[in-house]
A and B are shown apart, each in its own frame.
Chain A
Amino acid sequence: MINLTRRHFFRTGAAGIGIPALASLLQADTGGLEGLPHFPPKAKRVIYLHQSGAPSQLDLFDYKPALGKLHGTELPATIRMGQRITGMTSGQSSFPVTKSIFKFAQHGQSGAWLSELLPHTSKIVDDISIVRTTNTEAINHDPAITFIQTGSQQPGRPSFGSWVTYGLGSENQNLPSFVVLIAQSSAINTDQPLFSRLWGNGFLPSKYQGVNFRASGDPVLYLSDPAGIDKATRRRMLDGIGKLNEMNAATYGDPEIETRIAQYEMAYRMQTSVPELMDLSKESQSTFDLYGPDSRKPGSYASHCLLARRLAERGVRFIQVYKRGWDQHNDLPRDLALQCQSVDQPSAALIADLKQRGLLDDTLVIWGGEFGRTVYCQGKLMDGNYGRDHHPRCFTTWMAGGGIKPGQTYGETDDFSYNVVADPVHVHDVQATILRCLGIDHKRLTFKFQGRHFRLTDVAGQVVDKLMS
């Protein structure tokens, strides 16, 4: 694509560059791959609400009444089946089965079971697909989150958002096409770190890396003019730079110079469009009420959900939200409740808000962590307090919106929420399915690196038709 544009420029633009030409340059430069989408897309963009640390499916979504009677008994070997477990509990002499302390009830037309920690999510169950059988191969945070976000446990691959923007390009002239928002933990125990590789470009060109919109300081690194430079001065400087670059373009004939001119204009537009985006002051009171009291606090998960909607409205292709703090090895009842307090309402509000604005039809929302948590207690099981270790074999993820069948609970796990009994959905299947909703055949979105045609889904991945509308 780039070369076509460059050549186009060369022919028409050697003597100078007009605004319409600039616009077309940007358009082309932000375009996706030829031949994509492969299918008519149902979703145009993705909001990925990643719950970092791994929320307990047993205490939120995967209701296991049978555990009531088994509480405190040893996990049967027939269930564990030699599954490897982390170094944190592998030395434990006892693996006591632990029921959830939280009450479950059925909700909506679909009758989905949810725990009392999710009163707001319970109101949107008919809009979402709850997948109880998501599964992964990794058992520690670093490899697991790297796997779910890049398709490989080891670093080096492009992130999900990079793949999507590489394939589909941008729909927006003023904002990056892949935006990252990070909300800190609400739990008391220490949370897990994140890594910039999770939104990195891997071996794709660096323009596909996610841009972190930060809650404090400049929302985008280096966005603000330095102290002492006002808008008029900045404009005069940019005009001067543009003129000088044009003169040089005429001398050297290198289309890279034209691109640079265009990128300086894009940077200037971002200086307006990003603060406008981040400024929530024009949102209505009813919107704040919908997302909850935290939504006025910059950096909170609630304000990030609201921002995610604003980004979706502006056509940003991939919006990656992280909520830290879900790693409940101990004090689960306390810390899980704290996490849900800050996450439940805004997550549900985002779905409701997208829906009322007609955006849910072409926006795919996904909510989930990097693995699940064990049915057995980490450490000693006590009255009213317990913790759960990492569990890769099944965990719950929900999806909603563009292309996703609403109002279903998908997949079955055993009585211990330990093994999948029916309809497993591997991490690569989730990725394949999301890409399919975006109109992409996951086997054909490739990038040749080191001689190999790499894919987000590596050498696996099956589209889960039953999840799609």
Chain B
Amino acid sequence: MRKAVLTLLFTSASAFAAIDFDREIRPILSDKCFSCHGPDAAKRMANLRFDTADGGAFSNSVIVPGKAADSHLFARISATGPNRMPPVSSGRTLTPQQIAALKQWIDEGAKWQSHWAFISPQRPATPAAKEPNWTRNPIDNFVLARLDQEGLKHSPEADKTTLLRRVTYDLTGLPPTVAELNAFLADKSPDAYEKRVDTLLQSPRYGERMAMQWLDLARYADTHGYHIDSHREMWHWRDWVIDAFNKNKPYDQFTVEQIAGDLLPNATLEQKLASGFNRNHMINFEGGAIPEEYLVEYVVDRLEATSTTWMGLTMGCARCHDHKYDPIPQRDFYRFFAFFNNVSEKGLDGRNGNAEPFLQLPSEQQKARQAELKAAISAHEKALPEDTVSAQQTAWEKAEFAKFQTMARDGLQAHYEFDGNLTDSSGHYQYGRVLKGDLTYANAAVDRGADFDGQTQAVFSHVPAFDNNKPFSAAFWLKVNGKLKDPVLSQGQFQLWLDDFELSGVQQRVPRLYVQLGAQQFRTRDRLPWPDNMNHVAVNYTGAGAFTVYVNGKPVGTEPVAGAQPDAKTNPDAPLEINFFKGRLDDLRIYNRTLDPREIAYLGGQEPLRAILNILPDKRAKDQKAWIRDYYLSKAAPAPDQRAWAELKALREDEKKLTAEIPTTMIMSEIVPSDVVPSNKEKPRETFILARGDYRNQTEKVTPGVPSVLPPLPTGAPDNRLGLARWLVDPANPLTARVAVNRFWQYYFGTGIVKTLENFGSQGDPPSNQQLLDWLATEFIGTNWDVKAMQRLIVTSAAYRQASRVTPELLEKDPENRLIARGPRFRLSAEMVRDGELYLSGLLKEQVGGASVDPYQPKGVWEEIAYGDGFTSQTYQQGHGDDLHRRSLYTFWKRTAPPPEMTTFDAPDREKCAARRTITNTPLQALVLLNDTTYVEAARSLAERMLLEGGKTPAARLDYGFRLATARAPQPRELAVLRETLNAELLDYKRHEDRAQALLKNGEAPVNPTLDKSELAAWTTVASMLLNLDETITKQ
């Protein structure tokens, strides 16, 4: 209905004015006719198209200008029965008004225009103002001219209080303080308002406010989005955006750096970082997914985000076929796609945080620490000169080699060395098999070892089953990477695993080792101080109900665990299996006897050494060389060398930890052909047209290019992303400036001049005031894309400063305020609702930038749908202290379970680029503001402010609270309502102090101990009412 009302508004003029093709006719033709008679050549019917003037529309009497009665078009659209256009099967119908409009247009001569948005804006002459006393800048002349055309009047200026609150929210996302308001009211100078605007534009909050919308476009989030949806780190990019707005980076630079910062000559770190705009898309690593499929999805996402954000075009619609409405052939889509395709990335990535390519970003402190460690390491290395150490080591090796005995093979049932396969070297040929997933091999304890990733399943089918009544021994090297509790080894009724059932100290998870055979379960008595590298484990079973366990060659005490249940479902003869285990295994040996402690000491000590000494020094792998050097310097070298070595190792460990702590950020990075950089092995990616948009259907090869309907790349611009970026900000580009100023307009008025911010094509809404749009666009270019100047221009216009009270007539005629006959009035954005209430209640902790934080969130929101252990961002760890009260754009954003208090207030889920939010009004919003801990705590904090800062009398305090919430003074009847509730609650909470106590316990912010609890509780309820007023969460 809203649309119907609007159409009425804009067509009402047609009863007495000539019809406007762009505004009234093209939208009808586009929406109702183009899908069969439009740009898509493959689907075009009757060889007739209405998107161009020369596509048959004016031949064969389809349209006879001036004579609707003679035009086939009119005959067909007004026909009944099977001849009617559009046909029933299309699901589309024309309304009587639309048919009448088309008739009138033909009768008036069927004047044709090319689509306005594809023609560069010409600066229109500013219309003479009929009310020169009202207009403040040219915006007002255009608004007034348009109002005049519709026979409407502008509204009076809003009062100063309303205006200050409006502009403060609009430019900073927060309300004014009482002191700011009083100062503003006291300032009687004619430019008091402009001075205030200038101050607000200088506030760091301005950058935060401007960034909020940009994050929606950039689909910014803290997780990858697909499937497991684990953590990524892009907040440095987010902070770059805030900073760019605060520094008033001109929009052309802002654009070039985000599209192609990495390609700028001598690109700075900041410029490379900025290119992360196009790495904010979702990234996948679902097991079994096909990389090629996702490479295409990532590039499509970049294309869609870029074309929506900068061009207001729905280019994505041309992925599978020519665009149905706009002149964008499928080929143009893939040429545009090619700009974003040549990135050095993987199809499946992100399992461990950021996906390639990314940039390291050490802090100043970290840089200093890096240098410090580097110096210390180099000093220690000098203390261990290679020549000397090497000579001494060789002598030692010779002596050691002579001493070796070989481990007895008696009773050896199976022996898996994991040196690259699952061969059994016991002589029994009991080879293992990988059933699922991949096994990788890396240098480990004894030569190489096998890495299991938690998804790998290996089975050793013919190893004899373990039996309660017979002795056996299992010995192996082990390193655990994943979650504990999953078995390392299992066979029928036998299982061996680690468990950190209880925490030892603060978050220190130290496991015990468990073995179970049938109903017997044993565990190590002590927790194992399990170091990060490989450890040797040996388990002896005597055949008579007792286990002994050895770790790194030494016995560790065990104790039986009572009440263990045998797994009734498992077949005792099931094969030995390694499944779910995440970590590294090496040198697994199974014996049908118990091992002697000396044998175990040997396996856990000298066996690895023997294995390496057996290899000639120059045949040893890098890791093996390192291992033996470590063994020598740790155990056999002269004491001073051993000390120096221990210190050096510790320093290197510190360096490694530091590197892991240094944040990274994902960036764009072009694959450079090897004829330019010979060391580059990766081949530049070619782009093909994909039939039906499917990654499997590569057809014609294409090169990068801009849509053919728009001007070509500027001369001399490279045909890569940098050229594209320069093209976007070329003054000749008809879209970029219009799309940008239209978006700014929406920030202030709630609706763009073109309502469809994301679509300036023929299916988009026509501009409500094209002259104004074009003037703003040319003004923006003319001021060298000065973003702050544009905001200032808009908020200092008389149009913006109007009162927002609406009359029934105006509501009827222009419900969405497209013509600006009144000031804006609409609910604040999700972020502003929360930030504003935290601020006015005194809780907001302001700090620009930094890693995302985890404020209050109901339990289970993530966990209910998450994958579980083993990945980041699966369980919500609520923060404390300042983290609870930061501005909302710093709230951690998990895409598959976004913060509910944000999405409830219409924030998008950030999976895809979102150009605008709808504003809804729902009961769930009421529940958030009434019951969310954030707001209950804010109410209590506001109550404290009212009691402590608001004066002595209840009336003064209520007045103060009301001003904090709405900026204005309450009317007596409003005060009376608040007073009535307050009195009732005071009585109630005095009688029920326990409830008062309970209410004050909501939230973690400390309660002021000097205040009476019952009194504070009663005031908290009144404060909560203030935080729930429509007016408090509305800009008016």
Contacts and interface: CB of A to CB of B under 8 A. Distances in A.
A3 B860 contact: no
A196 B862 CA distance: 10
Contact of A233 (B804, B933, B988, B1034): B988
B798 interface: no
Contacts of B761: 451
A30 to B, nearest CB: 10
A398 B861 CA distance: 30
B1025 A237 contact: yes
Interface string B430-460: 0001011110000000000000000001010
Interface residues of B, number: 121
A196 B904 CA distance: 13
Contact of B1031 (A184, A206, A223, A248): A248
A238 to B, nearest CB: 8
Given A223-B931, A241-B1029, A267 B763 contact: no
By DSSP majority rule, is chain B's interface helix, strand, loop, or mixed? loop
Given A221-B927, A222-B927, A10 B981 contact: no
Interface in A137-177: 139-142, 154-156
A233 B997 CA distance: 15
Contacts of B436: 88, 329-330, 378-379, 387
Interface stretch (B69-77, B357-365, B587-595, B895-903): B895-903
Contact of A195 (B229, B997, B1024): B229
Interface string A231-265: 01110110111011101110111111101110110
Given A222-B931, A247-B971, A263-B922, A233 B909 contact: no
A228 B995 contact: yes
Given A7-B812, A251-B805, A379 B435 contact: yes
A192 B229 CA distance: 12
B91 A446 contact: yes
Nearest to A245: B1030
Nearest to B758: A450
B721 interface: no
A131 B814 CA distance: 51
B1011 interface: no
Interface string A376-402: 001110101101011000000000000
B496 interface: no
Nearest to B1027: A241
Interface core residue of A226, A255, A257 (most chain B CB under 10 Å): A226
Contacts of B763: 448, 450-452
Interface string B196-207: 000000000000
A253 B288 contact: no
Contact of A211 (B297, B812, B924): B924
A244 B1025 contact: yes
Interface in B763-788: 763-764
Interface stretch (B123-131, B220-228, B334-342, B503-511): B220-228
A314 interface: no
A334 interface: yes
Interface of A: 1-4, 6-7, 10-11, 34, 84, 86-89, 91, 139-142, 154-156, 182, 184, 190-197, 200, 205-207, 209, 211-212, 214, 216-218, 220-230, 232-234, 236-237, 239-241, 243-245, 247-249, 251-257, 259-261, 263-264, 266-267, 270, 329-330, 334, 378-380, 382, 384-385, 387, 389-390, 441, 443-444, 446, 448, 450-452
A263 B925 contact: yes
Contact of A256 (B867, B924, B1030): B1030
A3 B9 CA distance: 14
Q: Which of A6, A195, A239, A385 has the most CB of B within 10 A?
A: A195
Contacts of B229: 193, 195
- Which of A190, A206, A230, A257 has the most CB atoms of chain B within a 10 A radius of its CB? A206
B924 A267 contact: yes
Contacts of A240: 977-978, 980-981, 1022, 1025
A261 B925 CA distance: 12
11 contacts: A86-B289, A86-B290, A139-B288, A191-B867, A221-B927, A228-B1001, A244-B1031, A245-B1030, A264-B1028, A379-B435, A451-B326
Contacts of B920: 205-207
Interface in B951-992: 971, 973-974, 977-978, 980-981, 984-985, 988
Nearest to B1017: A228
Contacts of B995: 228-230
B433 to A, nearest CB: 6
Given A142-B226, A247-B971, A444-B91, A194 B865 contact: yes
B826 interface: yes
Given A220-B924, A241-B1025, 14 more contacts: A190-B868, A193-B227, A196-B909, A220-B927, A222-B928, A226-B936, A228-B995, A236-B981, A240-B1025, A244-B1029, A261-B1030, A263-B921, A450-B308, A452-B324
B1030 A155 contact: no
A443 B290 contact: no
Contact of A237 (B297, B864, B981): B981
B317 A195 contact: no
List the 5 closest pairs (A to B, CB-CB), nearest first.
A228-B999, A451-B763, A379-B435, A86-B288, A228-B998
A70 to B, nearest CB: 21
B988 A450 contact: no
Contacts of A441: 91
Nearest to A157: B912
A140 B827 CA distance: 40
Given A10-B811, A228-B999, A233-B985, A2 B1021 contact: no
A27 to B, nearest CB: 14
Contacts of A140: 227, 286, 288-289
Contacts of B925: 263
B923 interface: yes
Nearest to A229: B999
B906 A206 contact: yes
Contacts of B922: 206-207, 263
Interface in B285-324: 286-290, 297, 308, 314, 316-317, 324
Contact of B921 (A34, A260, A382): A260
B1 interface: yes
B314 A141 contact: no
Given A141-B227, A253-B811, A196 B865 contact: yes
Contact of B297 (A89, A154, A220, A378): A154
A254 B725 CA distance: 43
A4 B1 contact: yes
A195 B896 contact: yes
A10 B808 contact: yes
B864 to A, nearest CB: 6
A233 to B, nearest CB: 6
A4 B827 CA distance: 20
Contacts of B999: 226-229
Given A207-B920, A207-B922, A387-B436, A252 B804 contact: yes
A448 B31 CA distance: 10
B866 A193 contact: yes
B189 interface: no
Given A226-B1002, A330-B457, A255 B811 contact: yes
B406 interface: no
Contacts of A450: 308, 314, 316-317, 756, 758-759, 763
B898 to A, nearest CB: 7
B896 A197 contact: yes
Contacts of B906: 205-206
Interface in B913-937: 918, 920-928, 930-933, 936
A233 B981 CA distance: 9
Interface in B557-586: 569, 571, 574-575, 579
Contacts of B864: 182, 184, 194, 212, 214
Contact of A451 (B314, B438, B861, B971): B314
Nearest to A240: B981
